[in-house]
Amino acid sequence: MTQEERRPLVEGITAAMVGVTEFGPHLDFLRGDLGFEVAAEGVVPGAVADALWGSGPADVEVIALAAAGAGTGRVHLLRVPEPIAPAEAPHNLDDGLIGIDLYARDIEAAHAGLAGADRPWATPPTTYGVAVGEREVQVTQGVCPGPDGTVVVFVQPAAVRGTEAWAADPGRPFTELTSVVCHVPDADGEVAFWGPDGLGMAVWYDVVFSSPGFDTVAGLPPGTKMRLAFLAGEKTARIEVTSAAGPHRADRRATQRPARSLGHSGWSVRTRDLDAALAVVRDTGGRVLGEPVETDDPLHGRAVAASADTPGGIAVTLWQPHG
């Protein structure tokens, strides 16, 4: 195998796709409060959008948001005139997509500032421990509901790990998305799909833990045992694959579809080799949903793209830039 063939097929999650009723409330939150900037806006042509997402013949209005110009860890807003389900924030025990995470430089200040701006948090900043091998990693995070059922998780990290936004602008209060979260029935299958023998992300840790602090942050029954696998590529956003040892709640995967659903509804992932990535999807228990389509749009530029479901039923748009 050549060095090129050994390279990971993906570098991380390029963007979380978020379905919106209207752009205004999301721009007020993400741009006005969190400091994201509009990197591109316009439409994904109807023929491309329908081929990728089954959204019908109409063009899909979109806005790509970036933090300090970061090329990954973005938020792609897709306007959904007729959503297939009402907006509703997912619970951490629901199967499907959960939160989008970013670092806060001072989480207490973030909590006070956003609450003062009439953005009350569902969970205030809370610290808990995650046992990783023989050491315990301390995590401080809080949860703030966003528009259209989007769940935003703020994390003040004990050790900052690779963020393009803070590298470009060290003084900014918030970063790009540092991770995205899903909860799936079969964590083994999801980890294999994204991991070193799949699309090529590294497994930083994969643990089962229980913590009163985490139960509080996540709204879990006391004593819940949660599996957390943390997968990372060369760039943000990373992936948190979770699965509870106890009963799961609602299954939201069928109603979390890009360009058809509100809130966190899919992941956009740039790949260096779309054909090879689609072969991995098939070989690792995922599902390719259609033939690749050529596009030139605000979210992908000039590229070839295809949609897939992971083994856990998470909607992913894989795309390879031209040139």
Domain ranges of the chain: 3-84+255-321, 96-244
> 96-244: which CATH number, 3.10.180.10, 2.60.40.150, 1.10.3720.10, 3.40.50.10490?
3.10.180.10
Q: What is the pLDDT of residue 130?
A: 80
Say yes or no: do domains 3-84+255-321 and 96-244 share a fold: yes
Instruction: Give SS3 for 47.
Output: helix
**Average pLDDT of the residues of the chain:** 95
Please give the C-alpha separations between residue 159 and each of 105, 106, 139, 155, 230, in angstroms, as whole numbers.
11, 13, 10, 11, 15
**Residue 128: band (very low, low, confident or very high) from pLDDT cuts 50, 70, 90:** confident
Q: What angle do CA 190, 272, 177 make, to 5 degrees?
A: 60
**Residue 5: band (very low, low, confident or very high) from pLDDT cuts 50, 70, 90:** low
Query: How far is 118 from 134, CA to CA, in rounded Å?
Result: 41
Query: How far is 104 from 129, CA to CA, in rounded Å?
Result: 18
CATH topology of domain 3-84+255-321: 2,3-Dihydroxybiphenyl 1,2-Dioxygenase; domain 1 (3.10.180)
For range 44-55, the mean pLDDT: 98
**Residue 2: band (very low, low, confident or very high) from pLDDT cuts 50, 70, 90:** low
Question: Exposed, middle or buried: residue 82 (CB in 10 Å: 0-12, 13-18, 19+)?
Answer: exposed
- Token digits of residue 287: 């599902």
For range 18-33, the mean pLDDT: 98
Question: Residue 3: is its pLDDT beyond 60?
Answer: no
Provide the residue count of the chain: 323
Question: Residue 29: is its pLDDT beyond 90?
Answer: yes
Please give the C-alpha separations between residue 287 and each of 73, 188, 233, 254, 284, in angstroms, as whole numbers.
24, 16, 22, 14, 9
Q: pTM value?
A: 0.96
Q: What is the pLDDT of residue 315?
A: 98
